[in-house]
Structure 1
């Protein structure tokens, strides 16, 4: 039976040392102290050599005999004693640290690859606290309280194989205040290796950060040897790392390198706002390595702390990871081992696309279990938070409490009119009523004149298992005096496969391009202010059925069947604020070069069509996280393929005379280029192999843009007329975007403060009429964190097509 070893780790003044490391020599069994300097470790009876260490302090080894009794062992660590007298520094010569760093750089790849595979147990504890918060952000009430807003623990079994195979099984999860939730802690996301040339922190920065021992580190860092110290018979170099330029993507702080082995002993590094991190003021990274076997060292403990100050929120947080019970498979090409001793840790086929699986009863562990497995003792504050929130949980899930919260949240305020709309919720019943903002209610176009467009949604959910939604819409045009209506009923179920079905029908207006290339808000502005009526509308009475689901991992199927009676519409309104004497509104019928070339136009009067559309989205190598209640699909390093078949089914002239067939294929892929930024490309092509009977709304339309206000999507053109090159023939489109992520503007002090980043784009289109149409653009994104401004030029078959500025959202 194991005995508990417990105590505190302090400095010589009695000040607790938070997150000090303790482990059993020659093993990775150990723990760290909590923020109060207290620790606890269960050990079976035996003789041990305990190692206590803390960055900046001298390591201490203590022999200890353990029997069945609890053992109190308080440890006092002395400040590290650095030696410099044996180091000869020549006047004007390089600091001795450079020689150490060059050796570490030379051995970086060896240490990166010396282990083929390993598995271990990972304990992660995360805590986030909020010191200050605003009452509202963009008109939305903030329901969070100050204090601890997130406290969670998890235990996972982590399996890794070089170069990029990961499999994690979360066997236990605890979230303060919710015994039905699962922790967002993920051991595999804490795998930050300074043996990599570049480290990425998703959500913290779009670019990576250069390791102090990266292949190109000397371009980004200066080094200073603070001194050396003897630790357990090893000579350890303490080296200060200093970014050459204040705003370089580089860490600052200390890295400890073992002499002769030239491996990392520990790190104490940080990133600040000067390094262009987003939302946070500062992030600190602490790592401690320990020997596992045959001279191989592995990560033992890791801690991230951060400080937040954004949009009126001020707080801090920390995430701690303890790695233990290692089993490793060395790289036998690098590490000398007898043939008979060589093992293969994982069988063939062990790794698949499921990178994290949360076990069914992971969140059902009792307090006794956590007392036995928790390597870091809870602090008084954490104990109180668990006790208080767990005690309150039943009350917070009860109807009176949720009704009281709803009473506050449901108060209507002025911002609801303009930002996000208004939501009335009945949380206990998981019922919600949503109403759109005023800019979606009040519209203007030349077909209907002033428009009132009333849309509301009623949503009913059941513990994320299913959700149904009813969305009626009423619309009236004061110039056309036409009243329109439609309604949609959707049902979502099977959250593992994200299955959704809906039925929709009514009599409504629709843009000729069903992807709605221009929004009602932008069109209203362009019509009233610039006297340009870009939105082209027709009327349709329709009924539509839709079904979508993930067939297998990485393959999603969507199909739609729609019957519509389409009617051509004409302009009925001629009002605008300006240019009434200088400009004429264009007819509502779109102009198209392909039809004009044939001596035809887009007029159609009335028509009927029964159209079936089926799509397949194929994401090769799609990684995913599976929880007992749902599945989260992740990005893939491979291209995503979209395949569509669209068929108009002829019935009779009285019911449906449309008859055409179209196939479309699109390939999309994103890529990260390290310090040079990130980018993506889209290549799509299609053709009609049957055009027996079709009207202009059945053509293939491209998402063009003639307004200064833009949407920057994967398949958007920024200067292209909305309908000029729509086609019922073959076509090819290419889109390439590159986001430099600070690579260029980081060098300019004044611009750097805006957090703006350069983006470049090229768009290409080819049809039988457009010829070779090319757009090229360059711009700035992340202006004031949310805006993007681009300048575009365009050419058609070598001749200028036009140019202009485009503004939109660019997070």
Structure 2
């Protein structure tokens, strides 16, 4: 009898737990009073943090256990609706018709002499007064985030559609279709003021990756309680929040009216910009009266007013919900955008849904270790059934077809016949791209690749070697665990000096997660006496033949070196190498001219010889010598943030300066080595330091000295990244505009400083016709002092647009003007 009773109780418990674990689907269609679907309505369970939104067609879906629920439906412009729904033992279809929201003025608004809406101003001043409280209200939280992105082409030029573009982008005959969609589910963790960690559980994408994307939950963490609001990639400057402490300098506010939702009074405030409005949003902000907090946001930016990149319009919508103890958090945020590039019209959106908030979370001491995002190794392997059960926003019919079509294409693309055909097609040599960018061939599985350096780096001319050939390629192999072996053979021959050089550079990346690698290099080569770089073979060829400026000075080296690099801990990168070299001075052997009428003469290959010395000068810069050199450096990146993928780390810029300490020692007497010295230096640098609305700054400071110099040769000096000629490379903040390549090279203590500021258009934006050009203003200064040449300085101004830049500057050697003029950059180095 006891056994029978026990079995009965176990059976009852089993059925009970099964019933409790069973979930059913609550779904429906949200429409307005005219029967039209309402897209992206926030739908969530009252007194919980569980919610979703409707899709573009107004369809929503929930997975719910049996029970009774109060379901809230909310969207800007519509009256909030609360429906009581019971889930028993089956799925429920519950359609909703939302009523238009009516905002009524509580009293007649008073407009003062300055045309200010005093009612709206009073409301916003109260909100701004509580801004910092709400910014710091939550110390820690975690939540689940679903991010979805869809990008569509809505039109394309007919001529381009007929040339195969429509097939590549999978468009219809009118140039319409989805060309990219993605979705991800993550656990998002936050600790005030700025520590985040996102763990992506699942991710999926289909189509051609767009120019910009917001696939991370952190990309869509839009907090209007911050004074400045930044959208990654959207603009070179930030925007002022409507509730910023100085918002009244940028906005006018108008009270449209108020309504009552669920016992709360909601004020609707219209935003309009003061001045040209470049840093301001337009649209509406909804305020929870009494609490004076943001209830929802519905604002937009336009390219015409706000000077946006890539898009013509960007709309930002955000919904807040009460979560716990009168704490409100975002339920969803959405970016909608549209644009037109060369006749291709596009539109799209990214939306984030936040669920299951947990506050006052106690994280382990080392949880926030710099890793801001980690992708689970199986994140990209989830099945279609998994996504159907777990995505909170149901796919539209068009999105479902697009996924199915692209999945079918992907399966086809993995077939052997297709891969063989694709490999043959993509490994074709195209003359024009090869000339500038080189040629790449890959194996079918992309584990093996061959890169041949471009033609403009293959054929060269200089006065030391004459016409020459520099054949260079890179071969690499990646194993199944993503370890990579690379070999770079290089053959070089000069027809005038008859010197043949051959060398091999190689590397082995063994630890993708700590930048672990070994490298081994050996052979012979013709090298620049300035080891930090002067002009490329391509630009030196042009300047030599076209203007008789043989700027670069060369020597020959027979060398071998081996080294090791690894991250000791997050933000500390250690590098060490040992090299042996036999160095020989070279002299000019060729004096060819394209323009015979030129009266300008080439200079000696001795960089310290004056210009008056003939080009065939044989003065001794250094005797043939050998050097055994130990190099070591430690790079400290403070508060280093990174993203972890299966293929390794992706490092993100730090908001703090980077410190690099270098030590170089030449060891005399070993293997007949002649050079003997000790050199130490330290560099501090940082790029893109944002200065509010005034753009961003970059700087570099460097200092060093030779502790001893028993036997020091010119190539062992500390050299600087100078510039001679009309073109220059502004991509590195530690470079000069006018500094000669060799004249200021230091064999004693030196100090150099570089500063550059990009105003991001904040000055020229006030000039009407210049505004449309979207130019960015640049100013900067460079400074160098060392024992032999004291107080060299440069000042410059410039204009930049994408990869194009023009600078005008002036330089001084001491108190005397040295050089001045223009420098240009157009993306080729």
TM-score over 0.5 for the pair = yes
Contact 2:30/2:38, CA 8 A, preserved across alignment: yes
1:23 to 44, 49, 63: 44
Q: In 2, distance between residues paired with 1:314 and 1:427?
A: 34
The aligned residue for residue 217 of structure 2 is 187
Aligned length: 782
Give the Å deviation of 1:305: 1.8
Per the alignment, in what secondary structure is the counterpart of residue 428 of structure 1? Answer: coil
1:763 to 782, 787, 796: 782
Map of 1:285-304 to 2, 5 A cutoff? 285-304=316-335
The aligned residue for residue 792 of structure 1 is 809
Post-superposition CA distance 1:338-368 (Å, at most 9, x none): xxxxxx6446554332222233333344444
The aligned residue for residue 454 of structure 1 is 471
Q: In 2, distance between residues paired with 1:808 and 1:464?
A: 40
The aligned residue for residue 76 of structure 2 is 55
2:794 to 771, 775, 786: 775
Give the Å deviation of 1:195: 0.9
Post-superposition CA distance 1:296-354 (Å, at most 9, x none): 2111111112224336654333211111111224xxxxxxxxxxxxxx64465543322
* Inter-CA distance 234–184: structure 2 relative to 1 (3 Å threshold): closer
Contact 1:531/1:585, CA 8 A, preserved across alignment: yes
* Inter-CA distance 498–128: structure 2 relative to 1 (3 Å threshold): farther
The aligned residue for residue 492 of structure 1 is 509
* Inter-CA distance 511–143: structure 2 relative to 1 (3 Å threshold): farther
1:669 to 677, 686, 689: 686
Q: In 2, distance between residues paired with 1:144 and 1:460?
A: 31
Give the Å deviation of 1:132: 6.5
Q: In 1, distance between residues paired with 2:751 and 2:745?
A: 12
Q: In 2, distance between residues paired with 1:427 and 1:491?
A: 22
Contact 1:177/1:390, CA 8 A, preserved across alignment: no
The aligned residue for residue 626 of structure 1 is 644
Per the alignment, in what secondary structure is the counterpart of residue 218 of structure 1? Answer: helix
Q: In 2, distance between residues paired with 1:407 and 1:82?
A: 64
Give the Å deviation of 1:221: 2.0
2:149 to 126, 141, 151: 126
* Inter-CA distance 358–411: structure 2 relative to 1 (3 Å threshold): closer
1:173 to 186, 199, 203: 203
Contact 1:399/1:428, CA 8 A, preserved across alignment: no
Moved more, 79-88 or 707-716: 79-88
Are 2:649 and 1:642 aligned? no
Contact 2:109/2:118, CA 8 A, preserved across alignment: no
TM-score calculated relative to the size of structure 2: 0.89
The aligned residue for residue 254 of structure 2 is 224
Contact 2:117/2:255, CA 8 A, preserved across alignment: no
* Inter-CA distance 287–592: structure 2 relative to 1 (3 Å threshold): farther
Q: In 2, distance between residues paired with 1:660 and 1:743?
A: 49
The aligned residue for residue 188 of structure 2 is 158
Q: In 1, distance between residues paired with 2:112 and 2:716?
A: 79
Q: In 1, distance between residues paired with 2:480 and 2:645?
A: 14
The aligned residue for residue 320 of structure 1 is 351
* Inter-CA distance 566–143: structure 2 relative to 1 (3 Å threshold): farther
Q: In 2, distance between residues paired with 1:447 and 1:65?
A: 88
Q: In 2, distance between residues paired with 1:402 and 1:132?
A: 31
Give the Å deviation of 1:74: 0.4
Post-superposition CA distance 1:446-475 (Å, at most 9, x none): 112222222222233335702223322222
Post-superposition CA distance 1:545-579 (Å, at most 9, x none): 23222222111122222222211111122223348
1:589 to 573, 587, 606: 606
Contact 2:109/2:117, CA 8 A, preserved across alignment: no
Q: In 1, distance between residues paired with 2:207 and 2:819?
A: 58
1:114 to 137, 156, 159: 137
The aligned residue for residue 698 of structure 2 is 680
Contact 1:592/1:726, CA 8 A, preserved across alignment: no
TM-score calculated relative to the size of structure 1: 0.91
Contact 1:398/1:428, CA 8 A, preserved across alignment: no
2:315 to 284, 296, 304: 284
The aligned residue for residue 5 of structure 2 is none
Q: In 2, distance between residues paired with 1:177 and 1:416?
A: 25
Q: In 2, distance between residues paired with 1:16 and 1:300?
A: 21
Contact 2:219/2:232, CA 8 A, preserved across alignment: no
* Inter-CA distance 427–620: structure 2 relative to 1 (3 Å threshold): same
Per the alignment, in what secondary structure is the counterpart of residue 591 of structure 2? Answer: coil
The aligned residue for residue 248 of structure 1 is 278
1:43 to 64, 69, 80: 64
Mark the runs of 5 or more structure 2 residues left unpaired by the alignment.
Answer: 1-21, 172-176
Contact 1:247/1:276, CA 8 A, preserved across alignment: no
2:493 to 476, 494, 517: 476
Q: In 2, distance between residues paired with 1:119 and 1:651?
A: 62
The aligned residue for residue 66 of structure 1 is 87
1:405 to 393, 404, 422: 422
Post-superposition CA distance 1:223-272 (Å, at most 9, x none): 33332222222221222212234451221221111222221111111122
Per the alignment, in what secondary structure is the counterpart of residue 352 of structure 1? Answer: coil
Q: In 1, distance between residues paired with 2:185 and 2:598?
A: 73
Contact 1:307/1:315, CA 8 A, preserved across alignment: yes
* Inter-CA distance 427–243: structure 2 relative to 1 (3 Å threshold): farther
Map of 1:542-621 to 2, 5 A cutoff? 542-578=559-595, 581-591=598-608, 603-621=621-639
Map of 1:280-429 to 2, 5 A cutoff? 280-310=311-341, 314-329=345-360, 345-346=362-363, 348-428=365-445
Contact 1:791/1:805, CA 8 A, preserved across alignment: yes
2:449 to 426, 432, 435: 432
* Inter-CA distance 357–277: structure 2 relative to 1 (3 Å threshold): same
1:97 to 120, 140, 154: 120
Post-superposition CA distance 1:57-105 (Å, at most 9, x none): 1221212223222111100112221213733345856364333222222
Are 2:288 and 1:258 aligned? yes
Contact 2:371/2:644, CA 8 A, preserved across alignment: yes
Q: In 2, distance between residues paired with 1:601 and 1:682?
A: 36
